[in-house]
Amino acid sequence: MAPVKIVTDSTADLSPDLLKKYDISMIPLKVNFGTESYKDQIEIKPEEFYKRIKNEKSIPSTSQPSPGEIYEVFKSLADQGHSIISIHISSHLSGTYQAALLAKSMLPDADIHVIDSGTVSVGLGLLVLEAAKAAAEGKSMEDVINVVKQTIPNIKIYFIVDTLEYLAKGGRIGHATAFLGTLLNIKPLLVLTDGVIYPVEKIRGRKKAINRLVELIKAETEGKQTYIYAADAGNKLALNELVNKAREELNYQEMMLGSLGPVVGCHSGPEAIGIAFFTK
């Protein structure tokens, strides 16, 4: 029997090395600077994106893959005899999940299961890796789906943004509108739960915001097996501060480090940092 194959989209913010290691197929969303369009993580990388966005007069937009683009990935894997589990950015944040359902409907004879992750970025990345590890162990389609369903409710993302301008203009601000119009050097601390962004606290200064973020995670993970994925939007200095504090305060089985990709960065804005985690 051909193994179960995992498919995701570029908002999982998984490095090329991780995609290759676990044989994960990645479908890119797009970043649009005016009339110029780039495939996320393929035609434009995080480092290049964050340099460019700081010099742009207007915030770039993003667009989801077409059902046809997803169909091509599904068909290639199905033709090889694989069962497919396709895990995507929260349907509250993008139409990618719906596009994947349409792509699935074009292949009625293929064994395809499409999942709304309810999360994004490093949260989605953690979820996809759990599925890919289970598939690599030779688990059945049903068993891998169960791993995903059991993990989804336990994933949470706390993040700090430099400004709410990008979330607001991109229409992804959720319930964090309460924090709009914050004062200089106030760092909004936000949480993504069930695919929706909620405000947590307004904190003066990055260091205090980082300390509070880690304090919240510590309270939620103490005594549990914890897996962490931390990332930044072109702000390695702040990421290092966050990681050092996490290493001091948190007990965890694994902590991965990465970068928020261009599509996610369009909405978080440059300088954002965050941690996704789940417990077992």
Q: Tell me the CA distances in angstroms from 173 to 93, 164, 188, one per residue in order.
A: 10, 8, 12
Tokens of 202: 């307004």
Which amino acid is residue 110, in one-letter code? A
CA distance 146 to 226: 19
Q: Where are the alpha helices (DSSP H) in the chain?
A: 16-21, 46-53, 67-79, 96-105, 121-136, 141-151, 165-169, 206-221, 236-249, 262-268
Structural domains of the chain in order of their starting residue, each with its CATH number: 5-29+64-152 (3.40.50.10170), 155-279 (3.30.1180.10)
d(CA 110, CA 112): 6
SS (H, E, C) 58-93: CCCEEECCCHHHHHHHHHHHHHCCCCEEEEECCCCC
Q: pLDDT tens digits for 84-129?
A: 999 999 999 999 999 999 999 999 999 999 999 999 999 999 999 9
- Give 6-41 pLDDT, tens digit per residue: 999 999 999 999 999 999 999 999 999 999 999 999
Decide: pTM greater than 0.75. Answer: yes
Q: Each residue of 214-264: pLDDT tens digit?
A: 999 999 999 999 999 999 999 999 999 999 999 999 999 999 999 999 999
Say whether pLDDT at 278 is over 60.
Answer: yes
Which residues are CB-contacts of 21 (< 8 A; sequence separation ≥ 6)?
none
CA distance 78 to 58: 41
- Going by C-beta distance under 8 Å and a sequence separation of 6 or more, which residues neighbour residue 256? 125, 228, 229, 230
List 86's β-bridge partners, or say none. Answer: 7, 114
pLDDT tens-digit series, residues 184-195? 677 889 999 888
Residue 55 pLDDT = 86
